[in-house]
Structure 1
Amino acid sequence: MSKVKYYYDPDTLSYRKIEPKKSRKYRNIFLFLLASAIFGFLGLMILLNTDLFNTPRELSLAREVKNYELQFELINRKLEQMEQVLANIEDRDNNIYRLYFEANPIPPEQRRAGFGGVNRYKSLEGFNNSEMIIATAKRVDIIQKQMAIQSKSLDEVTKLAAEKEKLLAAIPAIQPIRNEELTRMASGYGWRSDPFTKARKMHWGMDFTAPKGTPIYASGDGKVIRADNNSSGYGKHIRIDHGYGYMTLYGHLSRYNVKKWQRVKRGDLIGFVGSTGRSEAPHLHYEVWKDDERINPINFYYGSLTAEEFENMLKFANQENQSLD
C-alpha cells in the first residue's frame, strides 16, 4: 500500500493531503511495465540458451551433434596423416622410382588438381555444419584422386621395372669364355695385322684363344637367329638377337649346342671353340652389334670380370698385334 503524503498549508494553518498527478502515475506504470518486459525478455533468452527447458529428444540430438563434430575432427586428423604418407610416396615416386627408370615425374598440379564443372557438394549445403562437412568431403575426394593417380603411376613403374629387368638380362654382360678355360686374349677390337695378307685392317671383334672344344656361353638373354657356316670368314658361327638393338656373334666354332630360333639365357652353353672358316688357330671370334653397328666388346664384361682382370684384358686388347682371323 502506497504511503499518503501531506504538506503544511500556512494559510489555513493545517496539513493538507498531496494529490499525485495523473501523468506521473501513468508514467510510473509505463516504466514499471517496460522494465518488466525487458527483464522478462532477458530471462527468457537466458533460459532458452540453457538445457533447463530442453526436451529429452532435444538433449539427445544435441549430444549426437557434438558426437558428430568430434567424429569429423578425428576423421580430419586421420586424413592429415594420410596426406602426409601419400606426399612421402609421391616424393619417392617422382625422385627415386621414376628417376631411376628414366620416366617423367608427375607434376604437382596434376596430382592435386581439383574437380571443376558441376557443384558436387550442393546436397550438403544449408545445414548448420555445412562448411565443415563440405571441406571434409572435398578433402576425401582429393585424396581419392591422388591415390588413383599414384596407383596408376606405380603400375607404370612396375612395367618399367619389368622392362628394365629384361633389358639388363639381355645386354651382353659376361665374357663368352671363362677365364679359367682361356689360354689368352689374343686380339682386341681395332686396327690389326691380317694373319694371311699381313695387311693392316679393321678387326671388328675380340679373339679369345682356347683349346678346341672349350665351352662358349651366351653373354646375354636372347634368341638364336643363326647357327650355320654360311657367312664368309666366320666358319661355323652363332648369332644371338638380344633385343633392344643388341646382337652378338660367336665365330669359328667346332660345333653347336643350340639351334636356330632357340631362346637362351645368359650363361647358357651354346657351342664349342674351333678353327673353322678363315682362322689361323683355335679361338673364338666375338662381336657385339648395337643398332646394326659393330661396337667394341671390351665394354660389356662387367658381369664376369674383376677390376684387375678387366684392366689386364684392356691392356692386351689395346695392343696392335696380329689377329687370328
Structure 2
Amino acid sequence: STILLVGIILNVVFSSFFDTPEEKSLKRENNQFGLQYEILNKKLADLTKVIRDIEKRDDNIYRVIFNTEPIPSSIRSAGFGGVNRYAELEGFSNSEIIKQTTQKLDKITKRVYVQSKSYDEVIKLALNKEEMLACRPAIQPVSNKDLTRMASGFGFRLDPFYKIRKMHWGMDFTAHTGTEIYATANGTVLKAKWSRGGYGNNIVIDHGYGYKTLYAHLSSENVKVGQKVGRGDVIGYVGNTGKSTAPHLHYEVILNNKRIDPVNFFSM
C-alpha cells in the first residue's frame, strides 16, 4: 500500500510539472500557430501600407492629370455587407483570431478591387488622352494681331455700369466689331442666342471632360446649336451687344460648372 501511495504521489507530481508527449506536441503547435499569426499580421499590415501608397498616387497624381475627382475614402474603405458573413468561422478554438484575419483580408480585397476599377478608368482616359487634350481650351479666342488691347481680366474690378467693385468672371478682349472669334477647343455648340442676362449675343460650347466656354457680346454667330466645332474654327464675330460699353469679346472658361481664370488656358 505504501508503494501504491508513493506511485500515486509521483504520478500527480509528474503530471503537474512535466508535460506528456501529447501536451508537448500541442504546445509546440500553439507556439508555431502564434508565430505564424504574427508573421501573417505583419504581412497584412505591410500590404495595407503598400495599397494606401498606391491609392494616394492614384488620387493625387493619376486622377489629377485627367481632371478626375479622387475616390472618396468612404468607398475605398467600405466593408462587406451581411451581419452573418463570418458565422461559419465560429465554434473553433481560435475563432476570434480567424475572424479578425479574414476581416482584414476582406478589407484588403475590397480596396484592391476598387483600385483596379480606378486604374481601368484611368487607362481608358489615357487611351483618350489625345481627344481629351483637343477638348481642353488652349488658344486665345481672338488673335493677338486683331486685338486693340486686353480690356479686363478675371477677378474683382470696378463695374463699368454700376460703378461698384464686382467679380468679373472672365476675360475681355477688345477688338473691332466684326473681328473673328475662334473656338478654343473641340466641342459641341450648346447655346447660340441672345441673352437677357447682359451677355447679348453669346455662344456656349460644351467640350466634354467637364469643360465649357462662353463667348459674349457678339455682333453675330457663325454656328448653330448642336453643331460640332474644332479648335480654331470661326464661331462668331466681335460685337457690342448686351451690357457692353465698347466692342469686345467677353470670354469665360467653366470646369465642372465652376468658372475659372481663362489666362491659364492659353499663352499671351
Counterpart amino acid of residue 190 in structure 1: G
- In structure 2, the partner of 1:295 is 260
1:278 pairs, out of 234, 243, 247, with 243
1:258 matched to 2:223? The reply is yes
Distance, in Å, in 1 between the alignment partners of 2:146 and 2:129 is 32
Name whichever structure is richer in strand by fraction. 2
1:163 pairs, out of 128, 131, 134, with 128
- In structure 2, the partner of 1:199 is 164
Counterpart amino acid of residue 189 in structure 1: F
Cα distance change on mapping 1:189 and 1:259 into 2, 3 Å: same
2:174 pairs, out of 209, 231, 236, with 209
- In structure 2, the partner of 1:225 is 190
- In structure 2, the partner of 1:249 is 214
Counterpart amino acid of residue 262 in structure 1: Q
Distance, in Å, in 1 between the alignment partners of 2:204 and 2:165 is 26
Distance, in Å, in 1 between the alignment partners of 2:124 and 2:185 is 21
Runs ≥4 residues deviating over 3 A? 155-162
Matched residue count = 153
- In structure 2, the partner of 1:133 is none
- In structure 2, the partner of 1:313 is none
Distance, in Å, in 2 between the alignment partners of 1:160 and 1:236 is 35
Distance, in Å, in 2 between the alignment partners of 1:170 and 1:292 is 16
SS at match of 1:229: strand
Identity %: 61
Distance, in Å, in 2 between the alignment partners of 1:170 and 1:156 is 18
**Highest Rg: 1 or 2?**
1
Structure 2: which 5+ runs fail to align?
1-57, 64-119
Deviation for aligned residue 1:197: 1.4
Root-mean-square deviation over aligned CA pairs: 2.1
- In structure 2, the partner of 1:268 is 233
| Aligned partners of 2:62 and 2:122 also within 8 Å | no
Counterpart amino acid of residue 218 in structure 1: A
The within-5 A match list for 1:129-208 is 160-208=125-173
Structure 1: which 5+ runs fail to align?
1-97, 104-154, 311-325
Distance, in Å, in 2 between the alignment partners of 1:200 and 1:157 is 42
Cα distance change on mapping 1:170 and 1:199 into 2, 3 Å: same
SS at match of 2:132: helix
Distance, in Å, in 1 between the alignment partners of 2:259 and 2:62 is 26
